[in-house]
Structures are given as structure tokens and as C-alpha cells.
Amino acid sequence: EIMNLREGLILGYSAPRVTVEAVPHQVRSLIGRDSIFLGPSQRTNDVAFKASVEDIYTEEIVPALNRYADFIENDYLSQAREALAVSANPNGEACYPALIQSFVTKAVPAEEIHAVGLEQVAKIREEIQVTMDQHFGGGDISEFLRRVNEDPAFTFESEDAVLKYSTAALDAVKAAMPRAFGTLPKADVLVKPYPEFAASGSGEYHSSSEDGTRPGIFYIAVTDPAGRSKSNQLATLHHETYPGHHLQGAIALELGDKQHTLARYLWNSGYGEGWALYSERLADELGLYPTPLDRIGLYSDQIARASRLVMDSGLHTMGWTRQQAVDYMMNNSGWAAVDIQNEIDRYISWPGQATSYMLGMIELRRLRTLAESRLGKGFDLPGFHDRVVSMGSITLPMLEESVTDWITEQGAN
């Protein structure tokens, strides 16, 4: 990594100073008795294994982390670029389109990304406002979304209550899946609290086994229940489990030799994250957000992804300042200020990736609308979904070709 960064500097490429400044501290924070690298030794009673892990940590990992932090602090930081935009790098005008092509897997001009983001934000704000007016007495959207995340009336009483809430929701979505899919994965998925060593995580899915015998695991954070809002629990669960990442990913793994190995194991963000975001809305079609608060959580998640289109393209191609991005997020989310700062750093450091969620979902919705319009009463929703998830993780142009072929086949039948 150090060699690669040195070569980049020689060629004139660098990361933005505003994000590089935090890196030495972040790297050094990985050193200590609570280091994640010592996790394996803390989860076993095997004395020899513990000693081996700790030797590797002390003799190899710690020196490497220190070398990297020292390099960033003493050599790289002074040469990091002042500009936020990736387009400030050599041949910068080509950088952003290439990154969009890489993450979304299709070419979308920055101007179009920005316009689509503004349009989607406006639509979702209207959905939020209608729900607020009908069920919560109206008011300012950003203030209400912040209140939803902080007011004890919307949070949990205990860690056990957090787990039970998500477990019940998982049971409900599992029962609903035959209404939208003809094929379901063999592998089950379970909800579990994060293990103690990773309790600060926000929630993540760990995949099932290829033969379906080991279930997928959706780890959720249950600590600090009084500070954990109920509002976004269901949208996140549907994104990560059914009909989202677990359903799609487990089916891909279980395809065996029916699909190419690359499509089963590799990840295309436009397809994968697009499917998961599509799944949040599909769950709504299936009646799986039983309360207005649950629906507010869905809209809150969706507007965050739409806002990313605006901010990512603004920062990297339109000369947006960091403060412009912060202000935009403050006006269109209920997130705490510190979380927004971290989110903006993500967009600055990882250009293009954050657009793949909403752009992927929009493409999936477009293909479904195309199928519905061409097939009319002959449109079969489970059949459409089965086609979409039966190909493994493919590019969006490949998905369009597959769905178009399916429409032709269905029309002939």
C-alpha cells in the first residue's frame, strides 16, 4: 500500500487532505489490547492458538500499522491535495465517469445523477410530509426525523426488546416471500446480536454456506436501547435479509454450475445494492411496514440514498464545498451532526460508490415497469423476481438483457 501511494504521488495523484488528516489516528487506534486483530485469540481457550495470534500481532501487525501511520503522517499528508473533487487529479475529468461505470456498472453522466437525485429527494420528502401530516401532526421534516431518532417515545426499553422486534419482523417477512418469489434459498437466515467484541457495529449480514446448510446471520446492535430508534429497524432488516441481500446472495451461492463462478461470488454494487434498496420498497408493497413510524424509517433510509446522488456528484464534478454537502444532508436527514460529518468524509474518499444504491434500484424499477407494460395481465411478479435473482451478481446491462429475454419468452407463452 505504501509503495502504491508513493507511485501515485509521483504521478500526481493524491487523496484529499481533509480526509487524510484523520488516518494516522485511525490506524493507531487499531493498536492495543482491545484491537480487532486480537479478536480470534479472545474467542478461544486454546493456549497455543492464543500465543500464536499474539505473536503475529506483536511481531508483524503492530510494526506494519506503525509504519503505515508514520508514512501517512510524515510523508503523504504534506502532499495530499487541497481540492475535494476526484476530478482535481490528473486526467480528472475522466476519473468520475470511470468510477461510476465501475460501481454502477453502466455509464450515467454526472449531470443526470445530480438531477435524478434532486427529483428523488423531492418525491420522498413529499411521502414523508404526507405521513407526518396524517399521523404525527405535521411540522418540519428534518426536525421530525431527528426527533424520531432521539425521542424516548420512539426507542427501545431493553436490549431484549431490540432483538425481539427484529426477530418478529424477520418471521413476518419470511412468511410473505412466497407472494413475491417462486424460488427461495435453501439457507435460512437468523437475527443475532453483535458479539461483545463488535457491539458498536450498526448491523451487517454474514452470508450462508454454498450448500445452504449454514444459515446467513444478520447481526444487529442491541446496546444502548434507549438511544436506538425503532423507525429504521425494519427497512434495514428487509435490506439485509429478505427480500434483500440474504435472498439474492444465498440463491446466487446455491446456483452451483448453473451460473459462472464469478457471478456467484463476486459483487457488483449497482446490482447488489440496487436490489437491496428495491427490496425495502418491495417489503412495503407486501404490507411489511405495519406502523406509520416503520414507514417513516423506510422513507428516511431512501432519502439518504437519494441525497447521496446529489452530494456525490456535487462534490466531485460541480465544485461543491464540504459545508454545502453538510447543509444538504442536515436538511434532508434526521442524522446527528457527527454522523453527517462521517458520511461526507465517505463521499469525499470513495467517489461514485454511494450512487450505486439508488441508481441500481431505479434501473430495477425501470425493468419491472417495462415488463408490466409489455406483458399487461400476463405479468407474473414472482416470475420477474426469480429471473432477476437467478443470474448471480451481474452488471446492469447484463440484467437488462436477461429481463428483456424473459419478457420475450413470457410474451410467446
pLDDT tens-digit series, residues 351-370: 999 999 999 999 999 999 99
The string of pLDDT tens digits covering residues 130-142 is: 999 999 999 999 8
Q: Stretch 54-65: mean pLDDT, rounded? A: 97
For 396, what's the count of Cα atoms within 13 Å in the CB-facing half-sphere?
28
Does residue 334 contact residue 308 with C-beta atoms inside 8 Å? no
Cα(126)–Cα(114) distance, rounded to whole angstroms? Answer: 19
pLDDT at 255 over 80: yes
Q: Which residues of 127-142 are buried (b: 16+ CB within 10 A; e: fewer)?
A: ebbebbeeeeeeeebb
Q: How confident is the model at residue 113 (pLDDT cuts 50, 70, 90)?
A: very high
Conformational region of residue 279, where left means phi above 0, alpha means psi within -120 to 50, and beta covers everything else: alpha
Residues in the chain: 413
Q: What residue ranges do the domains of the chain occupy?
A: 2-82, 99-356
pLDDT computed for residue 291 by the predictor: 96
Q: How confident is the model at residue 51 (pLDDT cuts 50, 70, 90)?
A: very high
Say which residue, 239 or 342, is predicted with more confidence.
239
pTM above 0.75, yes or no: yes
- pLDDT-above-70 percentage for the chain: 98
Cα(219)–Cα(222) distance, rounded to whole angstroms? Answer: 9
> Which residue, chain included where needed, has cell 401532526?
137
Q: How confident is the model at residue 256 (pLDDT cuts 50, 70, 90)?
A: confident
Q: Stretch 378-385: mean pLDDT, rounded? A: 97
pLDDT at 198 over 80: no
**Cell numbers linked to 197:** 467484541
pLDDT computed for residue 258 by the predictor: 84
Sign of the Cα torsion 360, 402, 218, 204 reads negative
Distances (CA, A) of 346 to 131, 231, 351: 30, 24, 8
pLDDT at 199 over 60: no
